[in-house]
């Protein structure tokens, strides 16, 4: 089985590189696709390699980077080892220690997050990316969706007991049974075939979700459809014009200076290089799927379908990423849609669901990362052939290294990802993978026909229609008022994704991210534009680097030897709002929670 895992890791990494070559014209050569995250790396490389004189006694960009990086490195010992609780500070929970409602309102991790904040750069940038590299319109659109979800729809749905949600925590990415307990998936699985035991399922319980999980899925459906409609309405004409100019691209005067310099000085990567990179891993994937005793459960035709879906969605996802620095389209595609598709097509096969999801999503992620790196080479004037070869070599080495690292962690860290059993202060909580596991149960084991067609959550299907139609309103307003340029900045897919992405991120991540982003990209940009242009991206890179270096050092010197911080109140990577996880209806019994809740308005 190890060989199957290794082959999958390798072929998945390489497969997307093939169709990345098909989209270079639209996502690399186009000056409108500027890839904001690359500007951080460009600024860092310039600071490291360009000779610069100090102006008026100030500091060079390299000196600025060094000071911030060292400061970030030194500070991260607090949230990363000695005082993890400052990653999420929820004052309301400190005041009302015995109120479920107060803690649901104030918890930054398991509630609405009112008044919560984080004193940790990984809280700010760990889930939503660097706010310093995200355009202001994208931050505002994201927060519009977040606010609509968390402060309007979610409280109404929860306290009105929609989807019987008061049986469960308001915020959770677990799956539950009707008694309010975590869903025992082993009761509905066949031990030999590793598929759904229908008799066991009928004799156990329907699967339930927390309110935020259920409504978030609906917004995920809406965001996907909105992404397709938005790209068609706002970028369709540009894509069509680029396609028509394919044969005459050398005379295209619409290209920018970077593209002209690259074409004048370097040879482009031959198309057959990309084709070979796509065809060879695709053929070898057939061997992995059909061989090894068909352990992966996925039929060959589903492999073709997975790759076709990933190819088709790479362009709209890439346009959104290249202009907003938001991975929302990829997240939704990965976490919702591909699970839904294979769940309908091949229900009750969880391994098939996970493998289909990997081929549909990882290959697309790799294609977009490849294109992003080509754009970085575009900015830095690196020969395209060199970029291609180095990427392939790095992927071969990196896949083996990642596989070996993952296997070593799983083999050597006891209770990895099990929060209840991990020692206090352990970093191995795996919030993203918990969500991956829950969606695999939801769509892979039980299947969407039991959840959406005949289940508690059938109303969520209407979100597909809402998402498909919503961008038309903005498009019509933009045509009706062409002088109001701000209308086109209302990005419906990002609004919906702001509502969807609340899991596995939490309110404290959104609020901290938005506060930093708005401060720098609105206040600092307007008040100190020169400083912003010179230092903002360097600041982001330095903060990232300091956190990363300290995290690696802490692990290899201390945590790998099971040496954690001193045991005290602040060592828990939690916001100390335990009652926020409690149900609020009589008859549901959960350890650590009141047996019943008399009133929701008692503080």
Please write the tens of the pLDDT for every residue from 481-491.
Answer: 988 888 988 99
CA-based torsion, 543, 544, 549, 552: positive or negative: positive
Q: Residue 560 and residue 544: Cα distance in Å, rounded?
A: 22
Please write the tens of the pLDDT for every residue from 142-198.
Answer: 999 999 999 999 999 999 999 999 999 999 999 999 999 999 999 998 877 678 899
Phi then psi for residue 196, to 5 deg, are: -70, 135
- How does strand 175-176 pair with strand 208-209? antiparallel
pLDDT computed for residue 591 by the predictor: 86
pLDDT computed for residue 272 by the predictor: 94
Tokens of 441: 């149960």
Mean pLDDT of 77-95: 95
Mean pLDDT of 109-125: 96
Q: Residue 235 and residue 228: Cα distance in Å, rounded?
A: 10
CA-based torsion, 333, 242, 489, 326: positive or negative: positive
pLDDT computed for residue 294 by the predictor: 74
pLDDT computed for residue 592 by the predictor: 85
Mean pLDDT of 432-436: 76
Q: Identify the band that residue 371 occupies on the pLDDT scale cut at 50, 70 and 90.
A: very high
Q: Are 159 and 170 in contact (CB under 8 A)?
A: no
Q: Comparing C-alpha atoms, which of 317, 291, 314, 286 is closest to residue 301?
A: 286
169, HSE (Cβ side, Cα atoms, 13 Å): 26
pLDDT computed for residue 115 by the predictor: 94
Phi then psi for residue 588, to 5 deg, are: -105, 120
pLDDT for residue 603 is more than 60 = no
For 22-160, list the strands marked E by DSSP: 89-90, 116-117
Please write the tens of the pLDDT for every residue from 528-540.
Answer: 999 999 999 999 9
Please write the tens of the pLDDT for every residue from 203-220.
Answer: 999 999 999 999 999 999
145, HSE (Cβ side, Cα atoms, 13 Å): 28
Q: Residue 233 and residue 479: Cα distance in Å, rounded?
A: 11
* Bigger pLDDT: 338 vs 113: 113
Query: In sequence order, what are the beta bridge partners of 338?
Result: none
pLDDT for residue 253 is more than 70 = no
Tokens of 40: 């951080």
DSSP 302-337: HHHHHHHHHHHHHHHHHHHHHHH---HHHHHIIIII
Cα 540 to Cα 49, 123, 126, 129, distances in angstroms: 18, 14, 12, 10
Instruction: Enter the pTM of the model.
Output: 0.88
Q: Are 464 and 222 in contact (CB under 8 A)?
A: yes
pLDDT computed for residue 1 by the predictor: 56
Please write the tens of the pLDDT for every residue from 298-354.
Answer: 889 999 999 998 898 888 888 888 888 877 656 666 667 788 888 888 888 888 888
Q: Identify the band that residue 602 occupies on the pLDDT scale cut at 50, 70 and 90.
A: very low
C-beta atoms surrounding 32 within 10 Å? 14
Q: Residue 281 and residue 275: Cα distance in Å, rounded?
A: 10
Please write the tens of the pLDDT for every residue from 30-82.
Answer: 888 889 989 999 999 988 888 887 777 678 999 999 999 999 999 999 999 99
């Amino acid at each position: 089985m190890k060989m199957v895992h290794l082959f999958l890791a390798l072929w998945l990494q390489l497969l997307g590189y093939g169709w990345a070559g098909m989209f270079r014209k639209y996502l690399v050569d186009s000056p409108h696709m500027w890839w904001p995250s690359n500007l951080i790396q460009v600024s860092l490389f310039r600071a490291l390699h360009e000779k610069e004189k100090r102006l008026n006694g100030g500091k060079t960009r390299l000196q600025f980077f060094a000071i911030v990086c060292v400061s970030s490195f030194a500070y991260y010992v607090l949230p990363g080892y000695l005082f993890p609780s400052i990653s999420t500070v929820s004052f309301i929970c400190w005041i009302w220690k015995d109120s479920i409602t107060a803690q649901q309102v104030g918890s930054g991790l398991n509630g609405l997050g009112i008044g919560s904040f984080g004193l940790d750069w990984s809280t700010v940038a760990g889930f939503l990316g660097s706010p310093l590299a995200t355009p202001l319109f994208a931050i505002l659109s994201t927060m519009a969706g977040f606010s609509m979800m968390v402060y309007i729809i979610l409280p109404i749905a929860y306290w009105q007991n929609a989807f019987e949600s008061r049986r469960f925590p308001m915020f959770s990415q677990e799956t539950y049974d009707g008694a309010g307990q975590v869903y025992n998936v082993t009761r509905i699985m066949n031990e030999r075939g590793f598929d759904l035991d229908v008799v066991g399922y009928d004799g156990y319980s329907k699967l339930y979700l927390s309110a935020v999980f259920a409504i978030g899925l609906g917004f995920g459906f809406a965001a996907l459809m909105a992404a397709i409609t938005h790209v068609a309405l706002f970028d369709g004409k540009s894509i069509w014009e680029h396609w028509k100019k394919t044969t005459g691209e050398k005379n295209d005067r619409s290209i920018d200076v970077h593209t002209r310099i690259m074409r004048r000085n370097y040879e482009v990567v031959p198309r057959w290089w990309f084709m070979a990179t796509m065809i060879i891993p695709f053929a070898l994937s057939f061997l992995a799927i059909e061989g090894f005793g068909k352990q992966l459960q996925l039929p060959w035709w589903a492999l073709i379908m997975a790759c076709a879906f990933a190819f088709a969605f790479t362009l709209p996802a890439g346009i959104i990423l290249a202009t907003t620095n938001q991975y929302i389209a990829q997240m939704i595609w990965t976490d919702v849609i591909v699970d839904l598709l294979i769940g309908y097509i091949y229900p009750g096969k969880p391994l098939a669901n996970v493998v289909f999801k990997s081929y549909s999503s990882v290959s697309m992620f790799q294609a977009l990362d490849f294109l992003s790196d080509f754009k970085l080479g575009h900015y830095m004037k690196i020969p395209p052939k060199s970029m291609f070869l180095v990427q392939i070599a790095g992927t071969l080495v990196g896949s083996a290294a990642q596989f070996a690292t993952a296997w070593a962690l799983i083999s050597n860290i006891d209770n990895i990802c099990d929060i209840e059993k991990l020692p206090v202060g352990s970093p191995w909580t795996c919030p993203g993978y918990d969500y991956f596991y829950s969606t695999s149960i939801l769509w892979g084991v039980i299947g969407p026909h039991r959840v959406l067609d005949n289940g508690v959550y059938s109303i969520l299907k209407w979100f597909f229609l809402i998402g498909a139609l919503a961008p038309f309103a903005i498009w019509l307003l933009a045509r009706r008022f062409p002088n109001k340029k701000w209308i086109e900045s209302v990005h419906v897919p990002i609004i919906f994704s702001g509502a969807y992405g609340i899991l596995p991120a939490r309110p404290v991540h959104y609020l901290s991210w938005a506060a930093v982003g708005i401060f720098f990209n609105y206040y600092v940009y307007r008040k100190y534009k020169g400083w912003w242009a010179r230092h903002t991206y360097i600041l982001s890179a330095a903060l990232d680097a300091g956190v990363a270096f300290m995290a690696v050092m802490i692990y290899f010197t201390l945590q790998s030897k099971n040496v954690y911080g001193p045991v005290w109140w602040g060592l828990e990577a939690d916001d100390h709002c335990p009652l926020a996880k409690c149900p609020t209806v009589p008859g549901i019994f959960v350890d650590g929670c009141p047996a019943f809740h008399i009133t929701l308005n008692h503080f």
